[in-house]
Amino acid sequence: MSQIIINGSVSSKTDKSVSKLSVQRTLSHADDILPQIRYQNHYQLAIKHYLNRNFSQAWKIINPLVDGFLRSGQTRAKVGNELVIKIYKLYLSLVDLKLKEQMEIRDHTSYVDNNLEQAFMDGVLFNNIVRIYHGDYFAIDSELALMCFIIELSNGFPTIDLGNQLEKYLRYTSVLPRGDGLSQSTAKREKIVELYLLHILPKLNEISKSKELVHQLFSSDSSKVLLYLKKLDQTSVRQKQSKINNQLDSQKRNDRNKSKIDRNRKDSKHMTSDKPKPKENVSDVKTNSLVSSLKSIFNSHGYGVIKNITGTSLILVFVIWILRLLSRKNSKLRRLVGWLIRTFGETLQMAFRVTYV
């Protein structure tokens, strides 16, 4: 009887221990499940806003999730790699939209979100992926990495820095230098190789280096070597043609500017030469003619006429009277009349002196 009690007592303690362990496991499992559920719900809400083109709300939801990945080293394991990839892809898409929006803002206003642009130029997109995967390049999803590189390329990320990122990725995944990692690589990783060889290196004027890598990476696949070399030759031709076109466009712009300057100079000279000369008033012309005629007549015949003073005095007085009337409207005539009066007076004085003597 006592043995049964003892056994019963032992059995009761065992049940309690098992129950406690079960609760702990349940709580631990709940701790693992809750973050996944929470992140899944947030992602679903963010993707809904994104599809409805409500990008600002989608950004407000997705950005804190990425920050959570970066703060906690175990979040990716708890959330699940597949969900992490989905969240970060949506994050990359929103960053791409924001960067392109920045370009439009810069074209119309002076406001630019320098924080986002500077972080992008510092390589934060790919650096965050490396941090989330704790530096394990093999674990990084190839499609996620390719998407990141393409967004960087399309938004003006420095080509040299992008080349360094790609080279580092390919080395850490054993693709470079001999292509050992290609046998284990996915099709998306080969797309990264293609991006590096056919786009980035040619942009850096490293076509010869790209051709060397093609021979090294695909030494066992001659058809692929020929395909890559053909594409590189086409790229080289396009680059040369583009350079020629740019030079021609530059020359045309210079010629247009020079022609415009020459036309402006000619127009300026033409305007100066065609500037209308001040027109003489009809009355001024007549006055000048009258003044010249009177001066000529008086200089050549005045003293002879004065000799017969009694016969010409009335005529001279009449002429002077006419001139005084005209001189009220013309300064030249006023000066002429003054001169005539003075000269006439002097002549009369001389005439009277001669007469009396």
- DSSP label of 279: P
Number of domains in the chain: 3
Residues 1, 131, single domain; the answer is yes
Residues 198, 234, single domain; the answer is yes
- CB 300: neighbour CB atoms within 10 A? 9
In a domain, 153, yes or no: no
In a domain, 141, yes or no: no
Length of the chain: 357
* pLDDT tens sequence for the chain (357 residues): 444 333 444 445 455 454 444 434 443 444 456 788 999 999 999 999 999 999 999 999 999 999 988 987 667 788 999 999 999 999 999 999 999 988 777 655 544 567 889 999 999 999 999 999 999 999 999 999 999 999 999 999 999 999 999 999 999 999 998 887 777 666 788 999 999 999 999 999 999 999 999 999 998 899 999 999 999 999 999 888 888 888 888 888 887 887 778 777 777 776 666 656 555 555 555 556 655 655 565 555 554 544 555 455 556 666 666 666 666 656 666 676 677 777 766 766 665 555 444
Helices assigned H by DSSP within 201-308: 201-203, 207-217, 222-273, 282-307
Residues 239, 290, single domain; the answer is no
In a domain, 249, yes or no: yes
Residues 261, 302, single domain; the answer is no
Domain end point (choices 239, 269, 299):
269
Residues 62, 189, single domain; the answer is no
Query: What span, in angstroms and rounded, lies between the C-alpha atoms of 318 and 347?
Result: 17
In a domain, 30, yes or no: yes
In a domain, 143, yes or no: no
238 closest CA partner among 201, 196, 202: 202
pLDDT at 230: 96
The overall pTM is greater than 0.75: no
Residues 4, 85, single domain; the answer is yes
In a domain, 22, yes or no: yes
Query: What span, in angstroms and rounded, lies between the C-alpha atoms of 55 and 39?
Result: 18
In a domain, 151, yes or no: no
Taking a C-beta distance cutoff of 8 angstroms, is the pair 107, 51 a contact?
no
pLDDT at 112: 53
Residues 257, 336, single domain; the answer is no
* Domain range enclosing 130: 1-136
Q: Is residue 186 left, alpha or beta, with left meaning phi > 0 and alpha meaning psi from -120 to 50?
A: beta
- CB 308: neighbour CB atoms within 10 A? 10
In a domain, 16, yes or no: yes
